[in-house]
Amino acid sequence: MILGIDEVGRGPWAGPLVIGAVVLGGATIDGLTDSKKLTKKRRDELDIIIREQADGYGLGWVSAAEIDEIGLSAALVLATKRAVDQITVPYHEIIIDGTINFLKDTSKGQYVTMLKKADLLIPSVSAASIIAKVARDNYMTEQADIYPEYKFAAHVGYGTAAHRLAIEQHGITPLHRLSFAPLQKYKDSVRPLVTSLASAIITTKQIGDAAEDEAANYLARLGHSIIDRNWKTKFCEIDIVSYYNDTIYFTEVKYRKNDKQGGGLAAITPQKQRQMKFAAEYYALKNKVTNTNMRLAAIDMTGHPPIAVDFLKLG
């Protein structure tokens, strides 16, 4: 019963830092290793298997803005705490890949073992590496639709020559870490939206994705840890799954272009709430969530760029 922990996204110039935490329990999954040694297809396959078979898992997200505010070292600690807080199953040891105990100032610090190359040696750490990388890569691919000039799907935020050229030509985005040395010259700049003609023609899907991104950021600012986004099956879909104050929230994001369209939360009808309840119960079943409070919620988003105007806890 080992809780394995690994990070993804320490070095990129843009995008979030993500910590994975996994308790495999009795699950034996073939092919687990350092996520960087796997093909994207194999990582995606293992990500599904890990989520289905592990006793418990969590993802701790820290945004670029948070990294700029508190620094990378503190961000690693914060992301680790956010990931571990989502683990509700028992474990007797914590193994962190690397040489730094990010939990040393918590009650769990005494149970931590630091191990170099743990993602190669310890299956639960390998699993943590995989789910963190898949989650972050998927997120950066979504951002590539919103900021096409930067080609985030190709380099996922790392400082490649193409990424550096895109910044020089188009400036920075809200995803960029201005505390990092190569970008510090932009630290006093207002983080602009991309202003090229290509990015001005934004599809409805891209607007909806941007609204969901801001909704997730809004929940994070309230103290929520984002567990899952756009969780879909052939039966149902959940926009955002988050954890806060011993409760898992299943949040529907409703976007409207402007206030004249009326309240977005008006669309949360009793029938819609029943659908949300089914989705939450199915998520709990598929992800083996037990003995945890669960609550439905909705966020009303409006404007461009989208902002949150109301957060409603439904029950």
Instruction: Say which range, 102-106, 221-225, 229-233, 302-306, has the weakest mean pLDDT.
Output: 302-306
Domain boundary among 200, 216, 232: 200
* Residue 8 in tokens: 């993804």
- Say which CATH number the domain at 292 has: 3.40.1350.10
Q: What 3-state class would DSSP assign to 33?
A: coil
Q: What 3-state class would DSSP assign to 41?
A: helix
d(CA 2, CA 178): 36
User: Is the pTM here over 0.85, yes or no?
Assistant: no
Confidence of residue 221 (pLDDT cuts 50, 70, 90): confident
Task: Please write the tens of the pLDDT for every residue from 109-158.
Answer: 999 999 999 999 999 999 999 999 999 998 999 888 889 999 999 999 99
Task: Please write the tens of the pLDDT for every residue from 160-217.
Answer: 999 999 999 998 998 999 999 999 988 876 555 433 333 333 445 556 677 888 889 8
Residues 116 and 192 in one domain: no
The tally of domains found in the chain comes to 3
Residues 151 and 273 in one domain: no
Tell me what the mean pLDDT of segment 277-296 comes to.
Answer: 89
d(CA 79, CA 188): 26
- Quick check: 117 and 36 in contact, CB under 8 A? no
Residues 229 and 286 in one domain: yes
DSSP 209: H
Helices first, then strands: H and E counts in the chain: 10, 10
Predicted confidence (pLDDT) at residue 289 exceeds the cutoff of 60 = yes
Which H or E run includes 143? helix 123-146
Residues 152 and 109 in one domain: no
Residues 208 and 196 in one domain: no
Residues 11 and 131 in one domain: yes
* Average pLDDT of the residues of the chain: 86
Could you identify the residue written with the tokens 């409006």? 302
Structural domain for 284, as ranges: 204-313
- Say which CATH number the domain at 28 has: 3.30.420.10
Residues 58 and 122 in one domain: yes
Residues 25 and 114 in one domain: yes
d(CA 251, CA 213): 13
Domain boundary among 85, 115, 135: 135
Residues 8 and 131 in one domain: yes
Question: Which of 191, 177, 162, 213 lies closest to 15 in space, CA to CA?
Answer: 177
The radius of gyration of the chain's CA atoms, rounded to the nearest angstrom, is 19
Residues 127 and 225 in one domain: no
Pair type for strands 2-8 and 93-97: parallel
d(CA 220, CA 102): 20
Domain boundary among 89, 120, 135: 135
Residues 216 and 188 in one domain: no
Task: Please write the tens of the pLDDT for every residue from 9-63.
Answer: 999 999 999 999 999 998 889 999 999 999 999 999 999 999 889 999 999 999 9
Residues 225 and 195 in one domain: no
